Amino acid sequence: VMGYPCALGMATPLAMIKGGGIAAQKGILMRSGEAFQAFKDVKKIILDKTGTLTVGKPKVIQVITYNEYDELSLLTIAASIEIGSDHPLGKAIVDHALTQNADLKPVEEFQTITGHGVRGMIQGKEILVGNSRFMVEEGVIISEFEEKIKNFENQGLTVIVIAENNILAGLIAVGDTLKDDAKEMIELLHEEGFETVILTGDNWRVANTIAQKLGIKEVLAEVLPQEKAAKIRELQAEGYKVAMVGDGINDAPALTQADIGIAIGAGTDIAIESADIILVSESLKGILESYYIGKSSYSKTRQNVALAFSFNGIGVITAVMGIVHPIWAMIAMALSVSAILLNSFGSRSFIKSQRLKRKNNHKNH
């Protein structure tokens, strides 16, 4: 009777059930055992930029035309091409063009060049829409606008370049807004000892501008979607346990590769399916709360296992020595299961108090 392993078998699942329940109340879905067990060992948190640190709803800030194009005609060809793209920047251009009553044109031979831009044919003319790297690779001369591009990027704006038949047609500067809680959460993550890193396909100037605003010291920019998982592997090879936070299709491989993948609930389905943790809201505070929940659940698991081994270990020895009567052995085993249940569900988790304590200390400073 004293060797019955019921309490030991309940130790881990009950702690995870308790943690999962607390997480659900806070709008967090913990989808795997790693979400509970591995988060405590994470040292680096990698953050995607668009849709994770920013609101993910970029807007056109300025349009600069070149050659015979005026603003409406430039927006028309850019939006006509971008309407076939699912990228947030492309959607921003389309939305802006429609507000200007642009008459979008039919597009032939549409093609997406991942991490660079899009291309297509409009009325027999090849239109390229993308970043400056894309234009340089295609032989488009943009030297005349390089200073303007640099100035926009130093403001944290992403510059979309448009070319017609490999001749520069103009620029569209697009900006996104940082989430209200982004800076505060980065500071709190740093207080907990995490190192934060921005991982983005955007250029270095834009990424560094965002990083400086948030107090993030490490930046990995101009990373193509297919290269993001490789960057995670490089960090893991250096001995880091890594958490990745993202929301887009491009982030899915990196979310899978990371020790802990965290998806923003408003993100794409494939990103959500690839993650260990899903934050239902778009707020970043769920990252820190997930950490507290995982840490607390792991602590509860250790306590439960210790309780179970204590009852079983001491009980078996005393039973073998004839000290414990069988009736008391049955009572002891019932008590061991009750102790595990009470420890898992009866005591209030320290998650909320720790989080509020840190947040209040932060505000007081």
Catalytic annotation present for 48: yes
Active-site pick, 48, 176, 247, 251? 48
Whether 263 and 247 have beta carbons less than 8 Å apart is answered as: yes
CB 344 within 8 A of CB 36: no
Closest C-alpha among 87, 88, 80, 60 to residue 164: 80
Local structure of residue 223 (DSSP, 8 states): -
Q: What are phi and psi of 121, to 5 degrees?
A: -105, 130
288 and 185 Cβ atoms separated by less than 8 Å: yes
Nearest CA among 312, 247, 299 for reference residue 53: 247
Residue 258 token pair: 């990371």
Angle at 205 between CA 202 and CA 206, to 5 degrees: 50
How would DSSP label each residue in 250-315?
GGHHHHHHSSEEEEETTS-HHHHHH-SEEESSS-THHHHHHHHHHHHHHHHHHHHHHHHHHHHHHH
Residues annotated catalytic, as ranges: 48
